[in-house]
Amino acid sequence: MNTDHIENELYKVRSVRACIKSATDMMVSNPLTILRRTWLSTLALSIVTSLSILLSSLLESQQPTTTETSIVNTPLLILSVISLIAYIAIASWWGASVISLLTGRKVKDNIRRILYLILAMLGLYVIMGVCISVGYTLPMFGGKASLGHPTLASPLVAGIILVLALIFILPIGYSSMKYLVEPQQKLMSIVGKPYKTGLRRWGFLFQTALLGGIIICILIAITGVPEMILETAKRANDIGMTMGDNNGLSASFMMLQFFVTILIYFIWYYICCWMNFVYYYAYGSIEAKEKVKKDVVTLSTSNSANNNDFEAQSKHLNLETEKTPDRGLDIEDIQ
């Protein structure tokens, strides 16, 4: 991939459709290069994700309903923490590999910036989750409602908070991409001036996220059919066992599901890679629009200053004319 050519083609005013087309052309035109430079991190991330899902599901299915529950939950909690740490570390590596395709910088130079961004986004999501939880439980105080039987206001307030949170998080798609592409940007810029620019371009970002999300959902639904079949078979077998039936799955079924899950997530992460390319071109389009807007303002200011200078000169000439006495034609003037 020629990063110089990509950067030269980046800063152009594009529509949402053009951003998606450019991202698709990049994926289609450079499949071997993208695969060669990202396959290892993508495979590692797929393995960690699959292990987290399958092992958590296995421990939950074996969780007893007796007093031993607290003993079983402790390893589950430890496993969840280890999985989260491993996921964050490998996701930073994967994100750095994807960004290096676009910027040409080395992967190791991007890992720290990606890690900081992931931690910052996790913090924002935790804050959002706390706000939604508070909004859900707050209407219950002073009444007879409970978590199992909430009031009508509880889900309504939680829903409103969720919608507002999503509205204000959307511009971070632009500011975070600017942070990753431009090395001089600091982490706090994702909620600073670039965030304000993204907020002004909220409609463009919303259309990009909506159309890109629809395409991603379609692709995930198509490629995830094998995983859905295996998971449905597993759930049906679990329900049958709770009703007294024998285990109808072979001993190799869990291993088969594990490898299929790795393959599916390997494909899904490349779909996410495509979405990163879409946001990359959306960032370039917004930058181009802001430059055009700035040039127009500068030109207007320059023209206004020139007009003011011209008017000032005209007024000065008028004043000089008014100061000159109007005397009649004299013979000495002709001579």
Q: Record the tokens describing residue 272, joined without a space.
A: 């996410």
Considering only residues 137 and 116, tell me which one the structure prediction assigns the higher pLDDT: 116
Residue 175 in contact with residue 190, Cβ under 8 Å?
yes
Work out the pLDDT band at 312, boundaries 50, 70, 90: low
242 assigned to some structural domain: yes
Angle at 151 between CA 147 and CA 156, to 5 degrees: 100
Position 159 scores a pLDDT of: 87
> What length is written for the chain?
335
Q: How far apart are CA 155 and CA 139, in angstroms?
A: 10
335 assigned to some structural domain: no
Work out the pLDDT band at 335, boundaries 50, 70, 90: very low
329 assigned to some structural domain: no
Residue 322 has pLDDT above 50, yes or no: no
Position 138 scores a pLDDT of: 76
Amino acid identity of residue 295, one-letter, is D
Position 309 scores a pLDDT of: 58
pTM score, whole prediction: 0.81
307 assigned to some structural domain: no
Residue 289 has pLDDT above 70, yes or no: yes
Considering only residues 326 and 101, tell me which one the structure prediction assigns the higher pLDDT: 101
314 assigned to some structural domain: no
Q: How far apart are CA 307 and CA 208, in angstroms?
A: 41
Angle at 218 between CA 213 and CA 220, to 5 degrees: 90
Q: Record the tokens describing residue 151, joined without a space.
A: 């009031």
Q: How far apart are CA 314 and CA 308, in angstroms?
A: 10
Position 328 scores a pLDDT of: 37
Work out the pLDDT band at 198, boundaries 50, 70, 90: very high
180 assigned to some structural domain: yes
Q: How far apart are CA 11 and CA 289, in angstroms?
A: 9
pLDDT tens-place string over residues 229-273: 988 888 888 788 778 777 777 778 888 888 999 999 999 999 999
Amino acid identity of residue 27, one-letter, is M
pLDDT tens-place string over residues 127-161: 998 988 888 777 766 555 555 556 677 778 888 98
310 assigned to some structural domain: no
12 assigned to some structural domain: yes
Q: How many distinct structural domains can be found in the chain?
A: 1
Work out the pLDDT band at 67, boundaries 50, 70, 90: very low
Amino acid identity of residue 6, one-letter, is I
The CA–CA distances, whole Å, from 84 to 80, 88, 214, 236 equal 6, 6, 28, 29
Cβ neighbours around 39 below 10 Å, total: 13
Work out the pLDDT band at 47, boundaries 50, 70, 90: very high
Closest to 141 measured CA to CA, from 131, 132, 150: 150
Residue 157 in contact with residue 136, Cβ under 8 Å?
yes
Position 311 scores a pLDDT of: 58
Residue 157 in contact with residue 134, Cβ under 8 Å?
no
Work out the pLDDT band at 318, boundaries 50, 70, 90: low
Considering only residues 282 and 64, tell me which one the structure prediction assigns the higher pLDDT: 282
16: buried, middle or exposed (CB in 10 Å: 19+, 13-18, 0-12)? buried
Angle at 96 between CA 93 and CA 102, to 5 degrees: 155
Q: Record the tokens describing residue 170, joined without a space.
A: 């959307």
Position 329 scores a pLDDT of: 32
Residue-range definition of the domain harbouring residue 50: 3-302
